[in-house]
């Protein structure tokens, strides 16, 4: 993105990431279902368009995530989910299209869920890991905004998981 304005957050901008099941296979609980699906295809679970901000504290970065509908075993498609490394930066998540859930969890496994829908705003306070789940039958699109020098800790979630939610 070169201009200072984005007219439509549902359209591509910045860096494009594509997250397929093969890259998320260890996050889903049903390993058999993962193997069965991967033997036939490698579905896209979500895509992210991320503004390429300078990684400095005075900047903000933001991303649009498109999370597709679907299930792996009994679990609906979700984003990997992560903590932010220190400084444990906060994040704002805003619904753009479709509906789902935001899961927030702190390092003591205190857990909250919030409905995500167009115009809903969820504040992931410092120290909260966040994951978004699409438990609907339509595409879920949301915006996230946080400080630009943030680094993602995926390891903790991969090892310890979120409190389990089956949809
Ligand atoms: C978001 C996420 C995005 C993809 O922009 O990075 O929704 O989710 P995962 O990073 O968990 O794969 C964000 O939380 N940024 O900090
Ligand atoms: Zn984040």
Q: Is pLDDT at 90 greater than 70 in this prediction? A: yes
For a substitution probing ligand 1, which of 16, 17, 60, 63 has the most ligand atoms within 8 Å of its CB? 63
pLDDT band at 38 (very low <50, low <70, confident <90, very high): very high
Distance from the alpha carbon of residue 146 to the mean position of ligand 2, in angstroms: 7
Q: Is pLDDT at 61 greater than 90 in this prediction? A: yes
Tell me the per-residue pLDDT of 128-154, one tens digit each, with 9 for 90 and over.
999 999 999 999 999 999 999 999 999
> Residue-wise over 2-25: b if at least 16 C-beta within 10 A, else e?
eeeebeebeeebbeeeebebeebe
| Mean pLDDT for the stretch of residues 79-94 | 93
Shortest-distance atom of ligand 1 to CA 17: 4
**Tokens read off for 24:** 């998320």
Q: Is pLDDT at 167 greater than 50 in this prediction? A: no
Determine which residue's CA is closest to atom 8 belonging to ligand 1. Answer: 79
Residues 6+ apart with CB under 8 A from 78: 27, 45, 67, 103, 131, 132, 133, 134
Determine which residue's CA is closest to atom 12 belonging to ligand 1. Answer: 80
pLDDT cut 90: percent of the chain above it:
84
- Quick one: pLDDT at residue 1? 58
CA–CA separation, 55 vs 121, rounded Å? Answer: 24
CB within 5 A of ion ligand 2: which residues?
Answer: 91
- Protein residues with CB under 6 Å of any ligand 1 atom: 48, 63, 65, 79-82, 91, 130, 144, 146, 150, 152
| Mean pLDDT for the stretch of residues 1-15 | 84
CA–CA separation, 18 vs 44, rounded Å? Answer: 7
- The pTM score is 0.96
**Tokens read off for 120:** 């809903």
Residue 127 phi/psi, 5-degree rounding, is 85, 5
**Tokens read off for 74:** 């009994």
pLDDT cut 70: percent of the chain above it:
96
């Amino acid at each position: 993105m070169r201009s200072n304005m984005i007219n439509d957050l549902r359209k591509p901008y910045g860096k494009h990431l594509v997250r397929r099941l093969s890259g998320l296979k260890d996050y889903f609980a049903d390993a058999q279902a993962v193997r069965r699906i991967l033997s036939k295809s490698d579905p896209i679970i979500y895509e992210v368009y991320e503004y390429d901000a300078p990684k400095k504290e005075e900047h903000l970065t933001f991303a649009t995530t498109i999370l597709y509908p679907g299930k792996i075993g009994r679990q609906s498609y979700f984003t990997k989910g992560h903590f932010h490394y220190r400084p444990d930066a906060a994040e704002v998540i805003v619904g753009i299209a479709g509906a789902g859930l935001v899961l927030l969890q702190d390092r003591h496994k205190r857990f909250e869920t919030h409905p995500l829908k167009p115009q809903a705003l969820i504040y992931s306070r410092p120290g909260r890991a966040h994951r978004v789940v699409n438990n609907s039958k339509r595409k879920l699109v949301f915006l996230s905004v946080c400080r630009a020098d943030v680094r993602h800790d995926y390891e903790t979630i991969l090892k310890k998981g979120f409190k389990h939610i089956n949809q």
